């Protein structure tokens, strides 16, 4: 990588302006988008065929960094969803439920290897459709997608060890609904365990980011996956609602907002459908005075600002021990000034595009609320934003109170709320004072303190002296309004099995 010390201004395509010659600026290093072919129009993938939507409607999937339309995508209505569920049921009855675990595992291993082979292409497509930096899709999302398929491929012929001594069977058709922030990873979290357990799938990607899931079809076909085992219906909320309401669907796996999760929970109540909900979060970092502060600051920055804060378990609240709060804030602000906001295809970019104009408006409104409520606002004004596209500077509010909106409401953007504590008990009480409970981060050099605090945090994942580390073997899920059920690990198999003790 070419490295230059910028004396003045900004390297093209790169959002960090040199401050008094201190910021090391990089020459742009743009990943080519030539590696990926995006068809101008996508149909629905049902029963191994591309079918036109019954009502003939299409919507645009746009690149949030350029606001250009990438493709027109079919909008599935209830009759299309019905056809997809019936195709999945046929595939379940005739093919997939007849295969041994070993045979199912073979398909999953093949899919995992093909994802690795086409990793660069998938990373570019995900970045184009979602707006997240290529560094994230290339180094985090796509490797984890492959890892999930490998991991659950390994379980397919060992399910007896997941439920020792019990009789078990697959459920049938699983309806899976995913959000726009990790389009391909959420598809992998859902599809891999469902297929490993012997179920077939109808997947509904988010309307903002359907393209990578649709690209997976090429991989399924190259792997020889029998027709109807995975079906993809694109569309908006009504498409998801038709899927959750379908009587032949035996299980719903949903990842998305708490509001929609509640609607789905109500719609499946009394139907006998199994349900797992992975919902929103307001996760806290706890920095103790004995922490390695530079590492802690780096962890906080990556935990809330990378990926534009579009992460369900983003560390959006920072609680710092009072004696080091001023130092931590200074370090944090200095680090924020060096973040690079801009072209998501540039390998230097830390913060890409906000996924949609609607999301950008929502984040801006919440920032205004934060200012009105009196938190102390900081944004690194040295960062210049590109002229087009949905871009936003990262920002923080210090001196926020527990009752303030920014401490309670999920912003889902690069906005950090900072407050202080004096004792571990106060830190724990503040961290737990939220309707959510998805994740938390503890920063301390003292192991006994880390363990004692972690045991008292009501969060599905607690990271110690790190943040956002994922592994397919580790279960993930929330407390309270962050949802219920677990995905990942052995736990992630159980929602896809009928188990009789």
Enter the tokens of residue 406: 């920014």
Task: Print the binding letters for residues 241-280 with ligand NAP: x by CB under 6 A, - otherwise.
Answer: x--x----------xxx--x--xx-------------xxx
Which residue, 193 or 342, is less far from ligand NAP as judged by CB? Answer: 193
Token readout for 365 is 């409104």
Cβ distance to ligand NAP smaller for residue 50 or 470: 470
For residue 487, the 8-state DSSP code is B
Contact between 141 and ligand NAP (CB under 6 A)?
no
208 or 283: CB nearest Mg ion:
208
Which residues face 415 on adjacent strands? 395
Using CB under 6 A as the binding rule, whether residue 180 contacts ligand NAP is answered as yes
Q: Which residues does residue 287 pair with via DSSP β-bridges, in sequence order?
A: 320, 443
Q: How many CB atoms lie within 10 A of CB 224?
A: 10
Which range binds Mg ion by CB under 5 A, 27-35, 56-64, 107-115, 197-205? 56-64
Q: Are 95 and 136 in contact (CB under 8 A)?
A: no
Residue 194 makes CB contacts below 8 A (sequence gap 6+) with 174, 176, 200, 201, 251, 253, 496
Of Mg ion, ligand NAP, none, which one does residue 152 interact with (CB within 5 to 8 Å by kind)?
Answer: none
Q: How far is residue 442 from each of residues 1, 423, 451, measured CA to CA in Å?
A: 34, 14, 9
In the complex, least distance from residue 44 CB atom to ligand NAP, rounded to whole angstroms? 14
> Which listed residue (126, 136, 312, 410) is catalytic?
312
- Number of chain residues interacting with ligand NAP (CB under 6 A): 31
In the bound state, the residue with its beta carbon closest to ligand NAP is 240
Name which of Mg ion, ligand NAP, none residue 421 binds, using a CB cut-off of 5 to 8 Å depending on partner kind: none
User: 48 CB contacts (<8 Å, ≥6 apart)?
Assistant: 87, 221, 226, 227, 228
Q: Which is nearer to ligand NAP, 187 or 291 (CB)?
A: 187
Nearest Cα to Cα of residue 394 among 382, 408, 409? 382
CA 106 to CA 150: how far, in whole Å? Answer: 10
Q: Token pair of 501, please?
A: 């003790």
From the list 179, 198, 352, 437, which residue makes contact with ligand NAP (rule: CB under 6 A)?
A: 179
Q: Is residue 359 involved in binding Mg ion (CB under 5 A)?
A: no
Q: Which of 25, 42, 53, 61 binds Mg ion (CB under 5 A)?
A: 61
Q: Do the bridges between strand 167-170 and strand 200-204 make them parallel or antiparallel, or are there none, so unpaired?
A: unpaired
Q: Nearest distance from residue 209's CB to Mg ion, in Å?
A: 5
Q: Assess contact for 1 and 29: CB atoms under 8 A.
A: yes
279 binds, among Mg ion, ligand NAP, none (CB under 5 to 8 A by kind): ligand NAP
Range 382-421, binding ligand NAP (CB under 6 A)? 410, 412
User: Catalytic annotation on 368?
Assistant: no
Q: Is 249 helix (H, G, I), strand (E, B) or coil?
A: strand
CA-to-CA distance for 373 and 39, rounded, in angstroms? Answer: 47
**278 given a catalytic annotation:** yes
* Binding-site partner at residue 312 among ligand NAP, Mg ion, none, CB < 5 to 8 Å by type: ligand NAP
Interface pattern 419-458 for ligand NAP (x via CB under 6 A): -------------------x--------------------
Q: Which does 438 bind (CB under 5 to 8 A by kind): ligand NAP, Mg ion, none?
A: ligand NAP
User: Among residues 278, 321, 359, 487, which one is catalytic?
Assistant: 278
Q: What 3-state DSSP class applies to 349? A: coil
Phi, psi of 111 (to 5 degrees): -60, -45
Q: How many CB atoms lie within 10 A of CB 451?
A: 12
Q: Which is nearer to ligand NAP, 305 or 421 (CB)?
A: 305
Give which of 321, 340, 354 is closest to 428, Cα–Cα: 321
Does residue 281 belong to the site contacting ligand NAP (CB under 6 A)? yes
**Site residues (CB under 6 A) for ligand NAP, limited to 311-330:** 312
DSSP-H helix ranges across 313-356: 322-337
C-alpha–C-alpha distance, residues 81 and 239, integer Å: 7
Please identify which residue in 171, 206, 286, 418 interacts with ligand NAP, judged by CB under 6 A. 206
Nearer Cβ to ligand NAP, position 110 or 132?
132
Residue length of the chain: 501
- Contacting Mg ion within 184-223 (CB under 5 A): 208
> Which residue of 129, 207, 346, 404 would you call a contact of Mg ion, by CB under 5 A?
129
Instruction: Determine the Cα–Cα distance for residues 129 and 61; give it in Å rounded to an integer.
Output: 7
- Rounded to a whole number of angstroms, the minimum distance from the CB of residue 353 to Mg ion is 10
DSSP codes, 448-483: HHHHHHHHH---SEEEES--S---TTS-B--SGGGE
Binding to ligand NAP, residues 223-242 (CB under 6 A): 236-237, 240-241
**80 touches, from Mg ion, ligand NAP, none (C-beta below 5 to 8 Å by class):** none
Mark residues 381-420: x for contact with Mg ion by CB under 5 A, - for none.
----------------------------------------
Q: Which two tokens stand for residue 144?
A: 């984890």
Task: Supply angle C-alpha 148, 152, 157, rounded to 5.
Answer: 165
Picked from ligand NAP, Mg ion, none, the partner binding residue 198 (CB below 5 to 8 A depending on kind) is none
Task: Report CA torsion sign: 303, 308, 311, 315.
Answer: positive
Catalytic site residues? 278, 312
Q: Which residues bind Mg ion (CB under 5 A)?
A: 61-62, 129, 208
Q: Which residues bind ligand NAP (CB under 6 A)?
A: 177-182, 204, 206-207, 236-237, 240-241, 244, 255-257, 260, 263-264, 278-281, 312, 410, 412, 438, 478, 482-483
């Amino acid at each position: 990588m070419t490295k230059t010390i910028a004396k003045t201004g900004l390297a093209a395509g790169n959002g960090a302006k040199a401050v008094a010659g201190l910021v090391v600026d990089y020459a742009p290093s743009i990943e080519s988008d030539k590696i990926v072919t995006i068809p101008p129009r996508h149909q629905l993938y049902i029963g191994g065929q591309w079918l036109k939507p019954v009502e003939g409607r299409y919507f645009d999937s746009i690149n949030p960094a350029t606001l250009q339309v990438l493709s027109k995508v079919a909008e599935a209505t209830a009759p299309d969803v019905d056809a997809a569920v019936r195709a999945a049921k046929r595939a379940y009855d005739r093919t997939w439920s007849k295969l041994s675990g070993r045979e199912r595992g073979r398909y999953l291993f093949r899919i995992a290897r093909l994802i690795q082979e086409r990793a660069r292409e998938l990373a570019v497509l995900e970045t184009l459709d979602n707006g997240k930096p290529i560094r994230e899709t290339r180094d985090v999302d796509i490797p984890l997608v492959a890892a999930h398929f490998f991991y659950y491929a390994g379980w397919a012929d060992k399910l007896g060890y997941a439920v020792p001594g019990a009789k078990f069977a697959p459920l049938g058709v699983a309806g899976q609904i995913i959000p726009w922030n990790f389009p391909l990873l959420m598809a992998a979290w859902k599809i891999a365990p469902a297929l490993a357990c012997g179920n077939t799938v109808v997947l509904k990607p988010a309307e903002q980011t359907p393209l990578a899931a649709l690209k997976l079809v090429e991989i399924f076909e190259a792997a020889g996956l029998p027709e109807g085992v995975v079906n993809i219906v694109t569309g908006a909320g009504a498409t998801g609602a038709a899927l959750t309401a379908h009587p032949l669907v035996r299980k719903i796996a949903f990842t998305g907002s708490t509001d929609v999760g509640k609607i789905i929970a109500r719609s499946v109540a009394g139907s006998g459908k199994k349900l797992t909900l992975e919902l929103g979060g307001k996760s806290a970092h706890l920095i103790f005075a004995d922490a390695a502060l530079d590492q802690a600051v780096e962890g906080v920055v990556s935990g809330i600002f990378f990926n534009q804060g579009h992460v369900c378990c983003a560390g959006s609240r920072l609680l710092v021990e009072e004696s080091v709060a001023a130092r931590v804030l200074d370090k944090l602000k200095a680090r924020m000034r060096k973040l690079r906001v801009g072209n998501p295809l540039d390998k230097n970019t830390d913060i890409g595009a906000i996924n949609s104009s609607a999301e950008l408006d929502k984040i801006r409104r919440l920032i205004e609320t934060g200012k009105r409520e009196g938190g102390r606002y900081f944004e690194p004004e040295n960062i210049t934003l590109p002229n087009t596209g949905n871009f936003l500077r990262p920002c923080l509010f210090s001196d926020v109170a527990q009752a303030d909106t920014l401490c309670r409401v999920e912003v889902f953007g690069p906005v950090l709320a900072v407050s202080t504590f004096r004792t571990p008990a106060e830190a724990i009480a503040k961290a737990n004072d939220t309707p959510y409970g998805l994740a938390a981060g503890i920063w301390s050099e003292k192991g006994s303190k880390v363990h004692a605090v972690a045991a008292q945090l009501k969060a599905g994942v607690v990271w110690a002296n790190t943040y956002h580390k994922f592994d397919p073997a580790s279960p993930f899920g929330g407390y309270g309004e962050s949802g219920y059920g677990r995905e990942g690990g052995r736990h992630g198999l159980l929602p896809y099995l009928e188990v009789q003790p």
